[in-house]
Structure 1
């Protein structure tokens, strides 16, 4: 079946693609076999390296679960603050007033251009120098500050792009029936743009969850990844096992977030579909009875 962007494959192309697929799978299998062989020779696959994750709860209650809670706490606080802040700046960048549009654009471009790690370090120094936040809470505050400043700027661009993708006739029709600009944005544009923006927003939320690890690497914030370092040293340098378990947790967490967003997107799209009510001939001719009389 052909389309504008795709031509149907012929017999030779199909055979070539099948051959390339088989070769690729064989190479991947050989690579995995080589990696597993090295790990086996180094003793990294011995049961002693993995048993603490399956036979007891000490590794989970002492290291993994507290680190997971710290990761989720920092990510949740960042999302709660960054989402509405990004929406405000994204809408402000679409304002007709230069005194609103220009400052919003400067803020967004400034923080979007700075690495999030630099913002976290700046936040830590700021809280240490000018606030009374305790030294135990400063890493959390710094991580959340860096994540909010950077991701709110990125989300602002996502919101702005999502609104600009809508047909111009949407806002023109809303204004034609007497809605003000604020009502057009709130009642017409934003509800339609949310569905289009949702995949990009979820991708950014996944980035927020992963970027909490920067706080553990530099700011001594006790998040999930930093717990792997401590756990690996405590259990005799089982680095491969510790980081594998942490990676699986990250994958499961982000997969759950993505799956929920996909479900929500489907529900939003279904809710916007027409009811599909069928009109009968009598409905199309309401005055037929009166004419017959």
Structure 2
């Protein structure tokens, strides 16, 4: 069966009039986007956002070092969060899947509490009440929140594996830990990967909350530049510099996840 026949079995192929309407809708949407971009550019130019006074600070070595230092601090906080949140999520996911009622209830309580607690409240509590250094207050809050969300992702991924796989493994005489390690988790990895990456992207963006507790991360560095009167308060230029960096890091995470997924499909062990 050809691809055209397969497509027509799922839905009616558009006729000449429908194709014409689709082209018209696409052209209209393209015009709308172009108009929006033109209006945005006009507003930026008319308000002097591209004036030399607002962009000249980025030429200074001191400003570049400030941004670089902030970016490294952001990556440091994110790396520590990943190293702690993934084991945290795996541990409490295993606890929620435990056959022991006390362990299951205790793990559920921890996960639901930290998942429901506002992240900013946790960060401020750890920083102010417990007098923890800004970096570790930020990392602790991110770990507790994102680790709890990841625990639910891991648990849902394991439970999504067909029940017959688990029953067949038990029939072969495997213990529960062996069933989890050799049967359920490898099959659940593919289903969990998109959700894990999405949560890691959230964790990366949430590192920007560190500026509220004086942690000198990337957004904090941008705030220092944007509020400088000597440079005519370059808020929009700072956003135009910082936003693409955040977007690029998130896209890099997504690309890395895609590469891992493609490698898993080619692996003979899968």
* Corresponding position of 1:91: 94
* Corresponding position of 2:63: 59
Aligned ranges for residues 110-259 of structure 1 at < 5 Å? 110-128=113-131, 133=132, 138-216=133-211, 218-234=212-228, 235-259=231-255
The change in CA–CA distance for 1:7 and 1:166 in structure 2 (over 3 A counts) is: farther
Q: Could you state the TM-score of these two structures normalised by the residue count of structure 2? A: 0.91
Whether contact under 8 Å (2:53, 2:232) holds in the other structure is no
- CA deviations on 1:119-164 (whole Å, 9 max, x unpaired) are 1111112322xxxx5xxxx211211111011001100000011111
Which of 254, 260, 264 is matched with 1:264 structurally? 260
- CA deviations on 1:77-120 (whole Å, 9 max, x unpaired) are 11100101101111211122211111111111111111111111
Instruction: State the shift of 1:14 in Å.
Output: 2.2
> In the aligned structure 2, how far is the partner of 1:80 from the partner of 1:210?
16
Instruction: State the shift of 1:273 in Å.
Output: 7.1
Q: Could you state the TM-score of these two structures normalised by the residue count of structure 1? A: 0.84
Whether contact under 8 Å (2:169, 2:183) holds in the other structure is yes
Which protein shows a greater Rg?
Answer: 1
* Higher share of residues assigned helix: 2
Whether contact under 8 Å (1:75, 1:208) holds in the other structure is yes
SS in structure 1 of the partner of residue 130 of structure 2: helix
> In the aligned structure 2, how far is the partner of 1:250 from the partner of 1:26?
28
Instruction: State the shift of 1:230 in Å.
Output: 0.6
The change in CA–CA distance for 1:2 and 1:221 in structure 2 (over 3 A counts) is: farther
* Corresponding position of 1:2: 8
The change in CA–CA distance for 1:41 and 1:264 in structure 2 (over 3 A counts) is: same
* RMSD over equivalenced CA pairs, Å: 1.7
The change in CA–CA distance for 1:3 and 1:208 in structure 2 (over 3 A counts) is: farther
> In the aligned structure 1, how far is the partner of 2:31 from the partner of 2:217?
38
SS in structure 2 of the partner of residue 2 of structure 1: helix
Which of 8, 17, 22 is matched with 2:22 structurally? 17
Unaligned runs of 5+ in 1: 275-293
* Corresponding position of 2:4: none
Count how many residue pairs are aligned between Structure 1 and Structure 2.
262
The change in CA–CA distance for 1:103 and 1:10 in structure 2 (over 3 A counts) is: farther
Instruction: State the shift of 1:57 in Å.
Output: 3.1
The reply on whether 1:101 has 2:111 as its aligned counterpart is no
